Structure 1
């Protein structure tokens, strides 16, 4: 049960990234009621698709990565496509987390010769310190993630307590200024429920125990849903829709949101606590994403790596590219991140649906089978394709932009 608890917190910790704090800005024009509906719908969709991976893993070895799983049903082409998409997606996320983590560390360190040097040293230190837990093994990631997750939740509870007395029912009842914004916001909220890249690592950690993995996914994702709803309830309740939209025009970032909530609550503590929460959320997401990438690369290279130097080499392959991007070519990963949602939609929804379809044909009597039958697999795949296309529709001007 100990490993199940650790896996549950890894699921939730990977999902609750620093981007969660900016979610209310994304939903500013939608209103709380429709935001609640959107959160519930996307939670169902992505929890369902995660459970499909549990079903598929009954047909493979516990330590099989996504490449091995895809090769089992779609041969070499399946391995190449699924591995490439997952690695690009995770590298882009990791580069963003390394940059963000470096910035947080730089704000705590004494400035060295100049701000640029301090920033670069901080990026390297952040990668070395937290990357080391991943190289040591999943158990060490489990231990540090538990500690950080508990502190993170305590910080969030403190923020919610400070904000709750200021909640207004009128603010919560605000309707969307444009119903199409509900569609435009979907990809942003969609990626906020993303932990699927870590599922192969969790399955290996749990020794292929179907029940434990299922509990970890259901409980971890539900904890995240509750936290997201409480956060949206507080921010939408405290800030009127018109004030939200003013913030978006002046400063459409987390800083703008923190400044506005501080002005309304009159609390400096809320600003400091949100910064602590943001740092912890970023680190727990970094740990979950890097663990998934580490094991993905291991699955790709396990026939060629020597056991003694294997983990060190995997660590270099996992952390060196995103660290170099963060140091010397920040525009590169920003560009990659703009397409990360599309890659995630394929990996987290379309791929498990297609793999499950094939697995059910080959193994019709598996002990655990996700509800809904093949019709639901088709519906989920179509939803994945639709969500993938939304950013292109926004760019074409066919849908409104959520940030004005």
Structure 2
């Protein structure tokens, strides 16, 4: 392997990490807070295995990775028929719109926790204008900037961990309740989301299967380690519930990223501003990738069903709905991430790849069994999320109960 090729592979691994570390890592400790540290780590390992495997399945689909104009609805339409096509369209819409809403509401919430002179709608709109402007450069900008942005993310992440470690308590880490794990699984799926860019990674590495797998497994493993470290410091430093409201349950009830209650706990301006830099880079990198994917998705839909690829129409359909939802419902950060993971991710990057493996594997083979396992696991997460959204299941922490319990 030449040095140039090695750098190219490492660069694509950075792209994987940059796309994973968006809103998910900031939401995971808050959504899994009631489960506790060790159950959360076990769940994170399980989701890492499942999502890495489905990513490898995607990378092996030559009809998807070799054609620069291929799109997911067409691919699954050809492989699984009309049902596969329309499930993909619905799931992709929920996924891509949802992640952009999460980024807009997450960033604006963090900025609002640092100042009150500028209103949240103005903050959100300014961030929207900047990040959608950068997204116009697409994959060219992302490939050039992502390695530097990921390095900056690691530096700021390390600073956040270093400042939080002194407050980690073994008493906080000892608490656990496995019954709350299912409620956090959709957010964990979001924390390992990068599958949209797999075709681009494959083409960048000249479809070298070994190198593509190295980039995928290496990138997701780095993401796994960062998520586990983040779970350790957040769940160890913040109490589940506290009379002063600086706790994980309050953050969960307010749909806040984990950095907001940590900033209140540490009372160090440096932490809050480093957390802002980390969140801005992490979410903006992911916004660029998902925004590019959403424009491509909308371009395919408008060309197919409206007979036009008008750039202004495509841009408006891609970016205006998330902005409007964010402005109307600015406090839905965790809600948006749950819908993305529990519906969009489960359908497109879990259940459908499972059907692909099941369809093309020999009867009775181990690989066919893994396809069935994927279908069952992701279908269970999908049903849990739908049950929670419809009010049929109540497995998330009861904010009112914990608040009452703390003040007793």
**Aligned residues of 1:58 and 1:208 also touching (Cα < 8 A):** no
Shift of 1:230: 0.8
1:68 pairs, out of 58, 61, 74, with 74
Tell me, in whole angstroms, the C-alpha distance in 1 between the residues paired with 2:329 and 2:185. Answer: 29
Question: In structure 2, do the counterparts of structure 1 residues 200 and 165 end up closer, same or farther at CA, with 3 Å as the change threshold?
Answer: same
* Residue of structure 2 equivalent to 1:219: 218
* Residue of structure 2 equivalent to 1:323: 323
The 5 A counterparts of 1:133-152 are: 133-152=134-153
- More deviation in 327-336 or 212-221? 327-336
Shift of 1:376: 0.8
SS of corresponding position for 1:180: helix
**Aligned residues of 1:98 and 1:126 also touching (Cα < 8 A):** yes
1:23 is the counterpart of 2:24: no
Question: In structure 2, do the counterparts of structure 1 residues 357 and 44 end up closer, same or farther at CA, with 3 Å as the change threshold?
Answer: same
Tell me, in whole angstroms, the C-alpha distance in 2 between the residues paired with 1:69 and 1:290. Answer: 20
Question: In structure 2, do the counterparts of structure 1 residues 396 and 148 end up closer, same or farther at CA, with 3 Å as the change threshold?
Answer: same
Shift of 1:165: 3.2
What whole-Å deviation, never above 9, does each CA across 1:223-255 have from its counterpart, x for those lacking one? Answer: 111101111111233335555997245443576
What whole-Å deviation, never above 9, does each CA across 1:49-98 have from its counterpart, x for those lacking one? Answer: 11111122367633222123113213444333312321232122223323
* Residue of structure 1 equivalent to 2:397: 402
* Residue of structure 1 equivalent to 2:103: 97
Shift of 1:153: 1.4
**Aligned residues of 1:56 and 1:356 also touching (Cα < 8 A):** no
* Residue of structure 1 equivalent to 2:373: 379
**Aligned residues of 1:201 and 1:295 also touching (Cα < 8 A):** no
**Aligned residues of 2:170 and 2:236 also touching (Cα < 8 A):** yes
Shift of 1:267: 3.4
1:83 pairs, out of 89, 96, 100, with 89
* Residue of structure 1 equivalent to 2:37: 32
Question: In structure 2, do the counterparts of structure 1 residues 246 and 76 end up closer, same or farther at CA, with 3 Å as the change threshold?
Answer: same
Aligned Cα root-mean-square deviation (Å): 3.8
Shift of 1:24: 2.1
Shift of 1:196: 2.1
Shift of 1:271: 2.5
The 5 A counterparts of 1:74-223 are: 74-101=80-107, 115=119, 119-120=121-122, 122-172=123-173, 174-176=174-176, 178-223=177-222
Question: In structure 2, do the counterparts of structure 1 residues 218 and 96 end up closer, same or farther at CA, with 3 Å as the change threshold?
Answer: same
Tell me, in whole angstroms, the C-alpha distance in 1 between the residues paired with 2:203 and 2:329. Answer: 34
What whole-Å deviation, never above 9, does each CA across 1:179-218 have from its counterpart, x for those lacking one? Answer: 3112222222222222223334434444544333322221
Tell me, in whole angstroms, the C-alpha distance in 2 between the residues paired with 1:334 and 1:22. Answer: 7
* Residue of structure 1 equivalent to 2:354: 353
**Aligned residues of 1:181 and 1:399 also touching (Cα < 8 A):** no
Question: In structure 2, do the counterparts of structure 1 residues 15 and 75 end up closer, same or farther at CA, with 3 Å as the change threshold?
Answer: same
Question: In structure 2, do the counterparts of structure 1 residues 140 and 400 end up closer, same or farther at CA, with 3 Å as the change threshold?
Answer: same
Shift of 1:146: 2.7
Question: For this pair of structures, how many residues does the alignment match?
Answer: 388
Tell me, in whole angstroms, the C-alpha distance in 2 between the residues paired with 1:200 and 1:403. Answer: 41
What whole-Å deviation, never above 9, does each CA across 1:310-369 have from its counterpart, x for those lacking one? Answer: 7666444432333344456769999876643223211111111112333457xx9xxxxx
Question: In structure 2, do the counterparts of structure 1 residues 251 and 160 end up closer, same or farther at CA, with 3 Å as the change threshold?
Answer: closer
**Aligned residues of 1:200 and 1:292 also touching (Cα < 8 A):** no
Structure with more contact order per residue of length (Cα contacts < 8 Å, sep ≥ 6):
1
- When normalised by structure 2's length, the TM-score is 0.79
Shift of 1:131: 2.5
The 5 A counterparts of 1:194-273 are: 194-241=193-240, 243=242, 247-252=247-252, 253=254, 258=259, 261-262=262-263, 265=266, 267-273=268-274
What whole-Å deviation, never above 9, does each CA across 1:132-160 have from its counterpart, x for those lacking one? Answer: 34332312122233332222211110111
SS of corresponding position for 1:185: helix
* Residue of structure 2 equivalent to 1:45: 50
SS of corresponding position for 2:247: helix
SS of corresponding position for 1:150: helix
Tell me, in whole angstroms, the C-alpha distance in 1 between the residues paired with 2:167 and 2:22. Answer: 25
**Aligned residues of 1:92 and 1:333 also touching (Cα < 8 A):** no
- When normalised by structure 1's length, the TM-score is 0.80
Shift of 1:385: 0.6
Tell me, in whole angstroms, the C-alpha distance in 1 between the residues paired with 2:394 and 2:43. Answer: 17
